[in-house]
Chains A and B, each alone.
Chain A
């Protein structure tokens, strides 16, 4: 099963359309999408606007791949569950977010090998296919940089 979630705040129809197009091309119907308030509901597979944290956790555990926006909440949840993650950052010019903060977030987690990020729509299908062939990562929590902890420690005890 492939789990798509756009976060609880805003819809992200571009992402749902991309996933639906991929599913159509590959002939797959075992997807589930959480599409956000008033978000586009795909025809090819089931979806819900909002789901509870328990439902989210259940879908995430069952998923072979997690497709989401570049929100830290979603990314951290997937890290903890040890899932392959594909992220598509929201774009301000398409009114998908109020700032382009998801681009640096995507690059940050991509540099740490946590996510595969898709910056151009045409790269989406290939990225999904590629990611499905990668091994499942081990579950891990966020890791604050040692330098940051040391700096704060120095400040407290300095």
Chain B
């Protein structure tokens, strides 16, 4: 499987989900090379950070992510966002890879902007707030914190 998150809270939340990955071969992808030490011993890729405010970087990021997906050929993608996660699940869909989006704990009042862009392109979309599950037509199965 491929586990991908951008920096800060996105990466911390992904790491807290690691018990769920036990027994799977996991490739980690994130935006800071110094996060490598958090997942020592696992295949690791650092990617450029980009968001909706820098479209050129998003294009470069997409190329890089496509390369990683073609090289690693994962069966499953798991992401806690944000922009790199959206691009990965969308590319994954084109390549026939199953994917799961876990919207960050910080998104309490509505699904994140990136969650909205990912929602229609994943096989499982989870929110960490029960109230949002109903409102947004996604699933709630508990929270990371």
A36 to B108, CA, bound (A): 24
Q: Are A76 and B145 in contact (CB under 8 A)?
A: yes
Q: Are B24 and A157 in contact (CB under 8 A)?
A: yes
> 8 Å CB contacts to A: which residues of B13-59?
16-17, 19-24
B60 to chain A, nearest CB (A): 28
Q: Are B144 and A101 in contact (CB under 8 A)?
A: no
Identify the stretch in B64-72, B82-90, B122-130 within 8 Å (CB) of chain A at 4 or more residues.
B122-130
- Asked if A54 is an interface residue, CB under 8 A from chain B, the answer is no
Identify the stretch in A60-68, A103-111, A128-136 within 8 Å (CB) of chain B at 4 or more residues.
A103-111
- The verdict on A142 contacting B100 (CB below 8 Å), with A72-B106, A156-B76 known, is no
Contacts of A148 in B (CB 8 A): 17, 20, 126, 128, 141-144
- Asked if B133 is an interface residue, CB under 8 A from chain A, the answer is no
- The verdict on A152 contacting B16 (CB below 8 Å), with A108-B143, A144-B143 known, is no
Number of inter-chain CB pairs below 8 Å? 82
Q: Residues 74-107 of chain A: 1 if any B CB is under 8 Å from the residue's CB, otherwise 0?
A: 0010000000000000000000000111001100
- Asked if B102 is an interface residue, CB under 8 A from chain A, the answer is yes
- Asked if B134 is an interface residue, CB under 8 A from chain A, the answer is no
The residue from B1, B22, B108, B139 contacting A101, defined by CB atoms under 8 A apart: B108
Contacts of B109 in A (CB 8 A): 99-101, 104
Q: Are B142 and A156 in contact (CB under 8 A)?
A: no
Q: Are B17 and A155 in contact (CB under 8 A)?
A: no
Contacts of B144 in A (CB 8 A): 142, 144-145, 148
- The verdict on A147 contacting B23 (CB below 8 Å), with A72-B9, A142-B16, A156-B1 known, is no
- Asked if B78 is an interface residue, CB under 8 A from chain A, the answer is yes
Contacts of B141 in A (CB 8 A): 145, 147-148, 150-152
Q: Which residue on chain B has the smallest CB distance to residue A109?
A: B145
The residue from A142, A149, A150, A155 contacting B145, defined by CB atoms under 8 A apart: A142
Q: Are B17 and A156 in contact (CB under 8 A)?
A: no
Q: Are B106 and A101 in contact (CB under 8 A)?
A: yes
B interface list, Cβ under 8 A from A: 1, 9, 16-17, 19-24, 76, 78, 98, 100, 102, 105-109, 123-124, 126, 128-129, 131, 139, 141-145
Besides A144-B17, A147-B141, A152-B141, 15 other CB < 8 A contacts? A72-B106, A104-B108, A144-B19, A144-B144, A145-B144, A148-B126, A148-B128, A149-B20, A149-B142, A151-B126, A151-B142, A153-B20, A153-B21, A155-B98, A155-B124
The 6 A-B residue pairs with the shortest CB-CB distance in the complex, in nearest-first order: A145-B142, A148-B142, A151-B141, A152-B20, A101-B108, A147-B142
Q: List 5 A-B contacts (CB under 8 A).
A: A101-B109, A109-B145, A144-B19, A152-B100, A156-B76
